Amino acid sequence: MRSIKNIPFSNFKNIQFSKLVKTEGRLREFNFRKSNPDAVLFFVDVTDDRSNRIFFQMKKENESWKIEPQLLPDWIIKNEEKLHEVIEEELRFLA
């Protein structure tokens, strides 16, 4: 068993943030999480009008963050570019 003292903690940078994004005339809070700094995947969640939490993933492809294919409401799909901008803005801030 490895001792916790021997693990390089610089490799455990967890990125987590929330942003308000206006979709269909409403502000919605999108929560983003990336647990590995080398990963090209963000886990995202947001609530719908009935307070049901919707989970999806965004993957970096060709310098752009794209929603991983799955069944999602149109108001999420239509805002893929906005979500890309939110992620890039946060990553620039953290750099």
pTM value is 0.83
* Nearest residue to 64 (alpha-carbon basis) of 79, 41, 84, 78: 84
Percentage of the chain modeled with pLDDT above 70: 86
Instruction: 69-72: list long-range contacts, CB under 8 Å, 24+ apart.
Output: none
Half-sphere exposure of 92 (CA within 13 A, CB side): 6
Q: Is the pLDDT of residue 5 over 90?
A: no
Asked if 68 and 58 touch (Cβ cutoff 8 Å), the reply is yes
Q: How far apart are CA 35 and CA 12, in angstroms?
A: 7
Note the pLDDT of residue 39: 77
Q: Is 1 helix (H, G, I), strand (E, B) or coil?
A: coil
Helix (H, G, I), strand (E, B) or coil at 4: helix
**Tell me, what's the pLDDT at 2?**
46
Domain that holds residue 43: 4-94
Query: Is residue 1 predicted with pLDDT exceeding 50?
Result: no
Structural domain count of the chain: 1
Chain segment 13-48, per-residue pLDDT in tens: 789 999 999 999 999 999 999 987 677 899 999 999
